[in-house]
Amino acid sequence: MQKVLVTGGAGYVGSHTCLRLAEAGFEPVVYDNLSNGHQAFVRWGPFEQGDICDAHRLDEVFARHRPVAVLHFAALIEVGESVKQPDRFYANNVAGTLNLIEAARRAGVDKFVFSSTCATYGEPRQIPMDETHPQVPLNPYGRSKLMVEQMLQDFDRHLGFRSICLRYFNAAGADFEGRIGEWHDPETHAIPLAIRAAMGGNGGFKLFGVDYPTRDGTAVRDYIHVLDLADAHVLALQHLLNGGASEVFNLGTGTGSTVAELIEAIAQVSGRPFEVERVGRREGDAPALVADNAKASRVLGWRPRYGLAEILDSAWRWHSSGVITQPAMQDA
């Protein structure tokens, strides 16, 4: 069985990808410092605690497990925090990734799948957005991811280090069997925040911006099920293992939903209408972000299988189950 090193594999997208890797016949080796991940999410392979900035620890793990490739999810992701503390984001997301790449190269590993983001595009110039869209990030988070993409281009061009960069749109949903799901602290994503409001959480739900040039005045986002994202990572890995060239792909459904539509759908799924506070736009929020996913379909054979109904149903069941608060789910 081929081993794959999964940095950030105890986190949200990383853990769901480990599930899909195991189903595809790989052994995911999770490498995570547990700053945002949860050891209880490591269920499909061995766990190695460590930081991507720790070169010695990385060398130990590469030597022990001898992975055939790296899937890299470990990153700081909160856009607002990136504005407040850009130094942390560049140190972790850029310098830490360079450290990981160098450790992989020392170990003779030259295949790398990178968790990137549509935040590298910045303000949309057309909808839907394809991979040729100009990349002008609006914040340090997006710039840190773009820097890694550019770094990987140079490593491919000059060193033969092949990579796939996967630009996510809005990851959402949970494992349909309820084993893992979305669990951030603090939580900043719209769907879990709205679900918490429906469950009676304090403060209701804040809707940022009701005057966008969209069909109902609220922002449009492309919500993609986390298991569809996970499937794309497995296909990207197989592409590299089969000798495929370095590539960049958008991962989204190609269909946008407004925040107002999302609120109504969550109220229907939960059977619990909830308080919504309408406030002004947030700086840097685009009116609409929708993926053109034709390239991933053409090259990888990837197509999203789940729509908004499945996303919200799985997310509601995960968050309303109480699993997050159970002692068995606490970090070791």
167 confidence band (pLDDT: 50, 70, 90): very high
pLDDT at 63: 98
328 confidence band (pLDDT: 50, 70, 90): very low
- 134, pLDDT greater than 80: yes
Beta-bridge mates of residue 291: 129
| Active-site residue, selected from the candidate residues 12, 31, 121, 141 | 141
pLDDT at 200: 82
Q: How many CB atoms lie within 10 A of CB 289?
A: 22
pTM (2 decimals)?
0.92
Here the tokens at position 140 are 């340090």
Number of Cα atoms under 13 Å in the Cβ half of residue 155: 24
202 confidence band (pLDDT: 50, 70, 90): low
Rounded mean pLDDT, 43-51:
97
Q: Annotated catalytic, 141?
A: yes
CATH: 3.40.50.2020, 3.20.20.70, 3.30.390.30, 3.40.50.720. Which one for 3-170+224-252? 3.40.50.720
Q: How far apart are CA 38 and CA 186, in angstroms?
A: 14
82 or 154: which leads in pLDDT: 154
Q: Where are the alpha helices (DSSP H) in the chain?
A: 12-23, 55-65, 79-84, 86-89, 97-106, 140-159, 190-198, 226-241, 259-270, 294-300, 308-320
For 170-195, what is each residue's pLDDT tens digit? 999 999 999 999 887 777 788 988 88
Rounded mean pLDDT, 70-85:
91
- 326, pLDDT greater than 60: no
pLDDT at 324: 61
